[in-house]
Structure 1
Amino acid sequence: MLRISDISHSVAGRPLFENASAMIPDGHKVGIVGRNGVGKTTLFRLIRGELALEGGEITLPARARIGGVAQEAPGNEVSLIDTVLAADTERAALLAETDTATDPSRIAEIQTRLSDIDAWGAPARAASILKGLGFSDAEQRQPCSAFSGGWRMRVALAAVLFAQPDLLLLDEPTNYLDLEGALWLETYLARYPHTVLIVSHDRDLLNRAAGSILHLEDRKLTLYQGGYDAFARTRAARLAAAESEARKQEARRAHLQSFVDRFRAKASKAVQAQSRLKMIEKMTPITTPQEAALKKFTFPSPEELSPPIIAIEDASVGYDGAPVLSRLNLRIDQDDRIALLGKNGEGKSTFAKMLAGKLHPLSGRMTTASKFRVGFFAQHQVEELHVDETPIDHIRRLRPTEAPSRLRARLGGFGIGAEQAETLVGRLSGGQKARLSLMLATIDAPHMLILDEPTNHLDIESREALVEALTAYSGAVILVSHDMHLLSLVADRLWLVSNGRVAPYEGDLESYRAMLLSSDKPAQKPKAAKPKRPSRDQVLAIRQDVRKCEERVEKLNEMRDRLAKKLADPTMYDSGKADEAAVWQRKYAEVMEALERAESLWMRALERLEKAEA
């Protein structure tokens, strides 16, 4: 169990934690959320012992291994598969020792240990992880230096997943992944055998991979059971209750103060006035957590053009005369909201560049409406901002004749305040840089906005603000994103980029997700000859087994819901109740483990019944 007990820590005199506590049982998957800058990454550094606590303590089981993605991605000549295999330091050391060991007893010990840790199955496991993160078999044999920084970060993620530390710390792990990689990571983390802490603003990841949410707010830590949506509902209810109590208290205070103000000078009422004044002084203010103002995005509105704004006829596009995509026959109208789906390397970026006019068709033609303007936002543009200039400098380069007040108003429309406007870009947060890049991409009021991974570095509140802005925007939107929540709320059309083509995808996002996850499953072995058909009594016995399994699952679900409700009570975590909370959390973990086993037994029983009745 990870115990965080009454910790305090400040950065540059600003307190981030004050007597904050939390307990994470072994094997739990916990999402860590909170506004940008509240200390989520600092918490990881405190857990790793990289920073010193000012008070309290953080304890882990003896010899527990802590792992996280290295800040610097590997860029050497070692192959990807060997880089990942080397992350299991025990396996690497044992294999190295097999070349030098001469003592028969030691050789036997080494071989036994290698067998215990499944050393011989490690290459297949490493290859599976790399494949899940988007690397083909051929790419896995290439050196790390052959890949860009974002792809190297995937290698670093693959390495820590392969090493399987007892406590896995992941800080925004989907920022360098595409949709396919993010979906694979969700399912992998849900099956991960040890404890996981995930700092993320990806709602789907927090809903599917996390069983509880640790919220960092007002320098305290609060653990909520369930995924992000359950956390949001529970917290909203708590906020509403606190606000209601605060209003009642303020009305009571105003009533008492009114009496004091009216009768303070009257001798006959002086005692009562003083009594009420003391009552006011003794009232402990009921405070509600300070929410960050929803930082808006304000996209300028373009004039309406005659449809279609883009028409593509029998076109192909690629590089150096070699087509990546061909036989393209597509149309885009100004009210379209289109998500581009497809695995990395299939041509999504190539297609986006053609739509943006950065690549011209090799054959066929692409025509655009008169006066058509396009805005393009890609993650690499955030990294290409001038770090030694301010946001005002960036926008002044594009609008040299505009008044400073107008330039500031433009920045304010994207949540960049007066203070940040004069701050060097190199000192801005990732989210502030992304906002600046979005502002620059939309400054000309484009009729079509192409967004390639726009939510990286944006917190959840900013992502919701982006959804609202895109909904209100009067131009076309082309989206490439691993954020399923964003895609589901914004996109009303899906185009699949695959096998050299771009074509409408007839299913929805959930069916696409299911297709991707099913395609990752290993091929089934050829079935043996059909077994003898079971008797009627055998079928009845299997049906009874199914019913028993189903009843067991229902009972465990009821137990889980009762325990989750109990653990969601904030008073459970009051000082002096740590041991009681630990008991209930342990019971919850035991029920979840039993539920997983029961569901597995139920599914196997259903499969037996299906085969028996076939």
Structure 2
Amino acid sequence: MPSDLAKKKAAKKKEAAKARQRTKKTDELEDEEPETELNGAQSNGIVHLTKELDEFELAKTEARAVTGVLSSHPNSTDVHVSSLSLTFHGQELLADTSLELNSGRRYGLIGLNGTGKSMLLSAIGHREIPIPEHIDIYHLTREMAPSEKTALQCVMEVDEQRIMLEKEAERLAHEDAECEKLMELYERLEELDADKAEVRASRILNGLGFTAAMQRKQLKDFSGGWRMRVALARALFIKPFMLLLDEPTNHLDLDACVWLEEELSSFKRILVLISHSQDFLNGVCTNIIHLHQRKLKYYTGNYDQYIKTREELEENQMKRFNWEQDQITHMKKLKTLATLSFSFHPCGKIPPPVIMVQNVSFKYSDNQPHIYKNLEFGIDLDTRVALVGPNGAGKSTLLKLLMGELLPTDGMIRKNSHVKIGRYHQHLTEQLELDLSPLDYMMKCFPDIKEKEDMRKIIGRYGLTGKQQVSPIRNLSDGQKCRVCFAWLAWQNPHLLFLDEPTNHLDIETIDALGDAINEFEGGTMLVSHDFRLIQQVAQEIWVCENQTITKWNKDILAYKEHLKSKNSHSEPLHHLVSWIRPAGSCDDQQGLRCRKCHY
């Protein structure tokens, strides 16, 4: 007779096979809503996941094992799961802990890279963890697929959601359930009412950067970053009872980050989000969940309050137990290791100017408008600049021009013949050889280092230790893959660092270590980031890329954030720019349409 474990494995394989079949059917019926036999609240959470699953996600679910017991009442709007354990490829990520999510709370899930934050969210989204059926779940995992539907249509397609809510309301009415729950359902149905839907959907898309014209463009004409915004807009429009967001700011510019922070800060149900931005966590969260040493620990308040509470606890425990608490010392050692070891090597001196930009204009083709006109500036080894501005305004394009990956349409960029530039961008992890381990990959990239122990020490400085160094890169978390990229980048020994969204997927401790490393770096840095805190830590100047030009913001980044907030509230236009070059007309690239050569 098969064991319980064998039965569980067989059931999981059967479900995965069904999911593959549903995914295949969805691909064949590209513009139709997928059919499903699932009823009630389950249909919402699972259908969204089914439409978005790929083979890699299926492989992850097959390699995952979850156990837990629902301890809250089946009809409760709170979720309490006890004896929760989660393993992935046999590695224990959670062990005999509890999951406690209460209605009306907005949780920030934090922890070091590779501890299982995204895995936990995925297990909740797939309902591998016992969640009451009346609680619908929306787990935002990836961008909307390209199609001929408009952005506005994709956001408003909520027929399945409306039907599910109507059935649940009917069930509760027959059961003479609590009036409060019924009123909640009626409120959500009213929000999805067709007469009001277009106005709400348009407002959300506008907040995420879509103009009226963009909202009526077909999804196939948008890049992946903009289609991710559509998926995010859909999640905000539906307002599920449980919303799961994994790094929702990764594809947003600073303007959209500020808008999203304001939007999520009023979410009334259950929100669980993973974010590397302390500023964003402070603005949104009412509670913090810290995943540490395979346990979930809960703190009341936003991230700053969590830090204060944890420091008070650590101080009391240090006095009482004289640093014998393993959890405290382990945390301190990890943080010290990250902060002290993460570094960029001395680069030596190069006489200024290192790079001169002289009367440079650029556009991608003759029939397209200019991205930039008549730029004039210089970059030296003491440059510490953050580039800000809306998506599509040309921040990444500027870095590519300076790298030589793009050539100016007019003007000239002069570079010192000895300068070495290290560029980090959000697609760098795609260049990693996933079947190799970090150790083998680095040995292959830098054959001059003959001894593996020497390379182990190098990789260890970036927070990859033990089995992580010899496991296939494909089995690492996104944050751990980024650390491999930083080790690779640092060992290039560059004079200038061009960092394009370097914080995506990194944990907060690593971002702090990165900030310290940039400040200690002898060379120059140009940074594109939506992380206000990192910009505040490292940038000496703020340059705004917008309307075909670059202007200098003469206050700090927090003042720029306040400006974005006031702009979102239709206040007065920008007053604190000191123009370096004459302004030009607007750029169609800001409309978010995908360019054949540009990233987003």
Q: Does 1:516 align with 2:564?
A: yes
Name 1:319's counterpart in structure 2.
Answer: 364
Q: Does 1:172 align with 2:172?
A: no
CA distance in 2, matches of 1:112, 1:319: 48
Name 2:78's counterpart in structure 1.
Answer: 2
Query: SS where residue 174 of structure 1 aligns?
Result: coil
Name 1:495's counterpart in structure 2.
Answer: 543
Cα deviation 1:280-335 (Å, max 9, x = unaligned): xxxxx886473235333221111111122122222112323553101111122211
Q: Does 1:213 align with 2:260?
A: no
1:7 and 1:17 in contact (8 A); partners too: no
Q: Does 1:456 align with 2:504?
A: yes
Name 2:174's counterpart in structure 1.
Answer: none
CA distance in 1, matches of 2:277, 2:247: 8
Name 1:343's counterpart in structure 2.
Answer: 390
C-alpha displacement at 1:185, in angstroms? Answer: 1.1
Are the structure 2 counterparts of residues 312 and 391 from structure 1 closer, same or farther at C-alpha, using a change threshold of 3 Å? same
Q: Does 1:297 align with 2:342?
A: yes
Name 1:235's counterpart in structure 2.
Answer: 310
1:246 and 1:287 in contact (8 A); partners too: no
C-alpha displacement at 1:118, in angstroms? Answer: 4.0
Are the structure 2 counterparts of residues 94 and 50 from structure 1 closer, same or farther at C-alpha, using a change threshold of 3 Å? closer
Query: SS where residue 372 of structure 2 aligns?
Result: strand
**AA of the residue aligned to 2:465:** G
**AA of the residue aligned to 2:276:** H
Query: SS where residue 345 of structure 2 aligns?
Result: coil
Task: Trace 1:558-577 onto structure 2 (pairs within 5 A).
Answer: none
CA distance in 1, matches of 2:364, 2:86: 52
1:218 and 1:289 in contact (8 A); partners too: no
CA distance in 2, matches of 1:30, 1:318: 43
Q: Does 1:31 align with 2:76?
A: no
Task: Trace 1:115-514 onto structure 2 (pairs within 5 A).
Answer: 117-247=192-322, 288=328, 290-291=330-331, 292-293=334-335, 294-295=337-338, 296-321=341-366, 323-405=370-452, 406-417=454-465, 419-514=467-562
Are the structure 2 counterparts of residues 94 and 167 from structure 1 closer, same or farther at C-alpha, using a change threshold of 3 Å? closer
Moved more, 126-135 or 406-415: 406-415
CA distance in 2, matches of 1:419, 1:286: 21
Q: Does 1:80 align with 2:151?
A: yes
CA distance in 2, matches of 1:162, 1:298: 43
Query: SS where residue 191 of structure 1 aligns?
Result: coil
Cα deviation 1:161-200 (Å, max 9, x = unaligned): 1101122121221222222222221111012232312122
RMSD: 2.9
Greater relative contact order (Cα < 8 A, sep 6+):
2
**AA of the residue aligned to 2:385:** I
- Which of 113, 117, 124 is matched with 1:40 structurally? 117
C-alpha displacement at 1:208, in angstroms? Answer: 0.6
CA distance in 2, matches of 1:507, 1:475: 24
The TM-score normalised by the length of structure 2 is 0.72
**AA of the residue aligned to 1:355:** L
Moved more, 319-328 or 495-504: 319-328
Are the structure 2 counterparts of residues 85 and 522 from structure 1 closer, same or farther at C-alpha, using a change threshold of 3 Å? farther
**AA of the residue aligned to 1:351:** L
**AA of the residue aligned to 1:494:** I
Unaligned runs of 5+ in 2: 1-76, 167-185, 573-600
CA distance in 1, matches of 2:99, 2:189: 37
Query: SS where residue 290 of structure 1 aligns?
Result: helix
2:143 and 2:224 in contact (8 A); partners too: no
Are the structure 2 counterparts of residues 390 and 222 from structure 1 closer, same or farther at C-alpha, using a change threshold of 3 Å? closer
The TM-score normalised by the length of structure 1 is 0.70
CA distance in 1, matches of 2:394, 2:207: 19
CA distance in 2, matches of 1:14, 1:36: 15
Query: SS where residue 202 of structure 2 aligns?
Result: helix
Query: SS where residue 379 of structure 1 aligns?
Result: coil
C-alpha displacement at 1:391, in angstroms? Answer: 2.9
CA distance in 2, matches of 1:408, 1:117: 55
Are the structure 2 counterparts of residues 115 and 396 from structure 1 closer, same or farther at C-alpha, using a change threshold of 3 Å? closer
**AA of the residue aligned to 1:208:** G
Are the structure 2 counterparts of residues 287 and 399 from structure 1 closer, same or farther at C-alpha, using a change threshold of 3 Å? closer
Are the structure 2 counterparts of residues 66 and 520 from structure 1 closer, same or farther at C-alpha, using a change threshold of 3 Å? same
| Matched positions, count | 468
CA distance in 1, matches of 2:208, 2:109: 23
C-alpha displacement at 1:112, in angstroms? Answer: 13
Name 1:585's counterpart in structure 2.
Answer: none
Are the structure 2 counterparts of residues 92 and 145 from structure 1 closer, same or farther at C-alpha, using a change threshold of 3 Å? farther
C-alpha displacement at 1:493, in angstroms? Answer: 0.4
C-alpha displacement at 1:154, in angstroms? Answer: 1.9
1:88 and 1:163 in contact (8 A); partners too: no
Name 2:42's counterpart in structure 1.
Answer: none
Are the structure 2 counterparts of residues 302 and 288 from structure 1 closer, same or farther at C-alpha, using a change threshold of 3 Å? closer
CA distance in 2, matches of 1:23, 1:415: 30
- Which of 134, 139, 154 is matched with 1:68 structurally? 139
**AA of the residue aligned to 1:512:** Y
Larger Rg: 1
2:113 and 2:480 in contact (8 A); partners too: no
Query: SS where residue 467 of structure 1 aligns?
Result: helix
2:354 and 2:416 in contact (8 A); partners too: yes
2:191 and 2:197 in contact (8 A); partners too: no
Moved more, 169-178 or 457-466: 169-178
**AA of the residue aligned to 1:146:** D
**AA of the residue aligned to 1:200:** S
C-alpha displacement at 1:2, in angstroms? Answer: 2.0
1:340 and 1:495 in contact (8 A); partners too: yes
C-alpha displacement at 1:365, in angstroms? Answer: 1.9
Cα deviation 1:104-154 (Å, max 9, x = unaligned): xxxxxxx99976754312112112212222223222222222233333222
Are the structure 2 counterparts of residues 452 and 124 from structure 1 closer, same or farther at C-alpha, using a change threshold of 3 Å? same
**AA of the residue aligned to 2:356:** A
CA distance in 2, matches of 1:342, 1:154: 17
2:252 and 2:391 in contact (8 A); partners too: no
Query: SS where residue 488 of structure 1 aligns?
Result: helix
Query: SS where residue 255 of structure 2 aligns?
Result: helix
CA distance in 1, matches of 2:253, 2:475: 27
Are the structure 2 counterparts of residues 64 and 115 from structure 1 closer, same or farther at C-alpha, using a change threshold of 3 Å? closer
**AA of the residue aligned to 1:331:** G
C-alpha displacement at 1:23, in angstroms? Answer: 4.3
Are the structure 2 counterparts of residues 122 and 225 from structure 1 closer, same or farther at C-alpha, using a change threshold of 3 Å? same
State the identity as a percent. Answer: 35
**AA of the residue aligned to 1:300:** H
